[in-house]
Amino acid sequence: MCYHVSNQFDAEEVAREFRLPEVKLDLFKKQYDFNGFEKPYLPVISKENPKELTAYRWRLVPSWVKEEKDWKANTLNARNDELFTKASYRDSWQNRCLVICTGFFEPHYPELGAKEHESWYIKPKNKKFFALGAIYSVWKGIPTFSIVTKDATPKMAAVHNDGERQPLILTGNAALSWLIPNLTQNEMINLMEFPYPDDQLDAYRTVDGIYNAKQNTNVPEAIKPYERPAFDALDLFGL
């Protein structure tokens, strides 16, 4: 699953990095932690306008939904093995976009089966941004998207060890190909197997509480390595 991402750069910096003009990016505001359940707007490059950078809203809503309040499905992510068959996505697989972010978060369980988990942050080692493969649907004039997920690579499986899934990370020709208008299902299946190199990922534990909706994690510490809280050794002995 990929329910939290980061993008600590403003729209101008994103546009400058990708050398694209900004279009309707006023709804995007930089944050250290975007919670998908809050339906934030993120910068995207879409199949429809691959020479523009614009903002789409996270959580895909199919065009046939009458009222969003009645749409109960969790469509923050779209599994690659359900893309062409599940009612939530099968009308949208031809609508592809790249979601631009500086990293994403995953839970890690030191002990599988336990409730306690750590928050881990994954970012590109030698670049500013990830381009995540996604699909979108325009609902009542609002472009809404879902991030495609796939089986995790060995490094990502060790991080997201409960579920062993990861977002589809694309780069180079694979990213450009994702935006080709008339891809077949077989061509998409091949692209969704793109192996983003594990050695190009930085992954580390970060501040606890990323998945706690009651905690404000839109803070710089959200994307920094975890630091164990200081304590007085005498406390161990009740002194």
The domain limits of the chain are: 4-237
pLDDT at 112: 82
The residue among 213 and 202 whose pLDDT is bigger is: 202
Report the candidate in 95, 1, 98 with the shortest Cα–Cα distance to residue 42. 98
Query: How far is 222 from 123, CA to CA, in rounded Å?
Result: 12
The pLDDT value recorded for residue 124 is 97
Query: Domain 4-237, what architecture?
Result: Alpha-Beta Complex (3.90)
What are residue 226's phi and psi, to 5 degrees?
Answer: -60, 135
Is the whole-model pTM more than 0.75?
Answer: yes
Query: Beta partners for 145?
Result: 58, 136
pLDDT above 70 (res 239) = no
pLDDT in tens, 130-140: 999 999 999 99
Place of tokens 């390595």: 225
Whole-number average pLDDT of the chain: 93
Q: pLDDT band at residue 147, thresholds of 50, 70 and 90?
A: very high
Q: Which tens digits make up the pLDDT trace of 2-56?
A: 999 999 999 999 999 999 988 889 999 999 999 999 999 999 999 999 999 999 9
Report whether 78 contacts 135 (CB < 8 A): yes
